[in-house]
Amino acid sequence: MFQKLEDVERRYMELETALVDPATIGNRKDYARLAKERSDIEEIVRRYREWTRLSGEIEGHKALLEGADDDVRELAKAELPALREQLETLQEELKRLLLPRDPNDERNVLLEIRAGTGGEEASLFAAELFRMYSRYAEEHGWRVEVMSSNATGLGGFKEVIALIEGRGAYSRLKFEGGVHRVQRVPETEGSGRIHTSTVTVAVLPEADEVDVQIDEVKDLRIDVYRSSGPGGQSVNTTDSAVRVTHLPTGLVVACQDEKSQHKNRAKGIKILRARLLERAQAEQQAEVAENRRSMVGSGDRSERIRTYNFPQGRITDHRINMTLYSLDRVIEGDIEALIDALITHHQSMALKTAS
């Protein structure tokens, strides 16, 4: 671990030097990339330097224990346990900071909330969950934009999809996906009987525009041949038609509209790039759909990550066996305690796996 920390600190110092170089300052793209890299590792370096300072302080106290002054020895002996405890805490923090980061953590979030079993009561709770997440987002200074919604006559949502824009939105909300179960007496229920309904929540990182990279040397086979069909005098006398084959996928584009082989080649590659983009986007959408399915299950009452019990004012997250009796505050957007606990649990599981 400490070799890795030394490497991170060395890289941090390299970045510090690069960011004051006039050549870097003059290149906006490079400067932004390097500044982000420095920002990403700044906390690790700060903690590591604190650990190094504290380690030195402990060694100094140990040396004082060998001294001749009784008062100094007693003072050093009394302070050592607290210093060692601080060092141990810092070491655990450094282990956590060195865990591989989720590359999606800084992305915006596509939040999808759908009423599951429970009819109108499920739709009403879907609207309450949307308000809960919206208020949480507003507290963090994030922007919420409704992309589509299907409202009911009583103020609920059969479905609502929103984009939440803000730094770190996905890192905070990614564990909210799943089936949310509500237990309460519906307003329409005359007998006072408690009903159980469900709402499914999907939290997806906003996808970047898929960029198609083509290595024209390795990925393409270019065949030329004589054009056929109408085209004027020179159409059958020169090898101007071009067939472009994308070797990794087998996609083929033929182009003979232009008299120039060079123009046909350029046009063929442009068409091929568009088709590859379309194909990549379709694959990406299929992957997102699969992530969504695995996240929300079937929406059945028996599948749940969290239960909101209104009669008891209780909220329970079943994944970490955490129960809070502050449902009134949670439903108003105060979900920080739940989110922090889920992140801590995820990190502790990752540390166990890594060790």
Are 201 and 311 contained in the same domain? Answer: yes
| Claim to verify: residue 120 and residue 199 sit in the same structural domain | yes
Q: Is residue 348 part of a domain?
A: yes
> 45, 77, 97: which is the final residue of a domain?
97
Instruction: Say which CATH number the domain at 46 has.
Output: 1.20.58
Tell me how crowded residue 240 is: count the other CB atoms within 10 A of its CB: 24
How many structural domains is the chain composed of?
3
Written as six digits, the tokens of 227 are: 């054009």
**CATH classification of the domain holding 133:** 3.30.70.1660
Rounded (to 5) percent helix, strand, coil in the chain: 50, 20, 30
Confidence at residue 337, expressed as pLDDT on a 0 to 100 scale: 93
Do 36 and 177 share a domain, yes or no? no
| Same domain as 77, residue 114 | no
Query: What per-residue confidence (pLDDT) applies to 353?
Result: 66
Using CA atoms, how far apart are residues 216 and 214, in angstroms rounded to an integer?
6
Find tokens 């060079």 and name the residue. Answer: 262
Evaluate if residue 315 carries a pLDDT over 50: yes
Q: What is the pLDDT of residues 40-53, one digit of tens each?
A: 788 888 888 888 88
pLDDT above 90 covers a percentage of the chain that reads 25
Q: What is the Cα–Cα distance from 307 to 196, expressed in whole angstroms?
A: 10
Q: Are residues 280 and 326 in the same domain?
A: no
Same-domain status, 277 and 330: no
Task: Give the residue from 263, 286, 309 where a domain finishes.
Answer: 286
Asked if the structure places residue 73 within a domain, the reply is yes
Residue 183 covered by a domain: yes
Q: CA triplet 51, 52, 55: central angle to 5 degrees? A: 85
Same domain, 304 and 156: yes
For residue range 258-283, list pLDDT tens digits in order.
Answer: 778 888 888 778 778 877 876 876 77
What single string gives the DSSP state of each residue in 148-195?
Answer: EEEE-TTS-EEEEEEEEESTTHHHHHGGG-EEEEEEE--TT-SS---E
DSSP strand E in the chain: where?
Answer: 109-115, 143-151, 157-165, 178-184, 195-205, 220-225, 241-246, 251-255, 306-309, 314-317, 322-324
- CA 192 to the chain's CA centroid: 42
Same domain for 28 and 132, yes or no, is no
Residues 40 and 91 in one domain: yes
Does residue 24 belong to any structural domain of this protein? yes
What pLDDT is attached to residue 295? Answer: 65
For 7-63, write each residue's pLDDT tens digit. Answer: 778 888 888 888 888 888 888 888 888 888 788 788 888 888 888 888 888 888 888
pLDDT for residue 231: 47
pTM (global) more than 0.75: no
Average pLDDT over residues 110-126: 91
Q: Which domain holds residue 227?
A: 220-286
User: Domain check: are 203 and 305 in the same one?
Assistant: yes
My answer on whether 123 and 78 are in the same domain is no
Last residue of a domain, one of 230, 257, 286: 286
The distance between the two most distant Cα atoms of the chain, rounded to a whole number of Å, is 108
* The two structure tokens encoding residue 339: 């989110």
Q: Mind listing the pLDDT tens digit for each residue in 85-100?
A: 888 888 877 777 776 6
Note the pLDDT tens digit of each residue in 320-334.
999 999 999 999 999
Q: What is the pLDDT of residues 237-246, one digit of tens each?
A: 567 788 889 8
Higher pLDDT, 190 or 270: 270
Q: Does one domain contain both 7 and 140? A: no
Residue 214 is assigned to a structural domain of this protein:
no
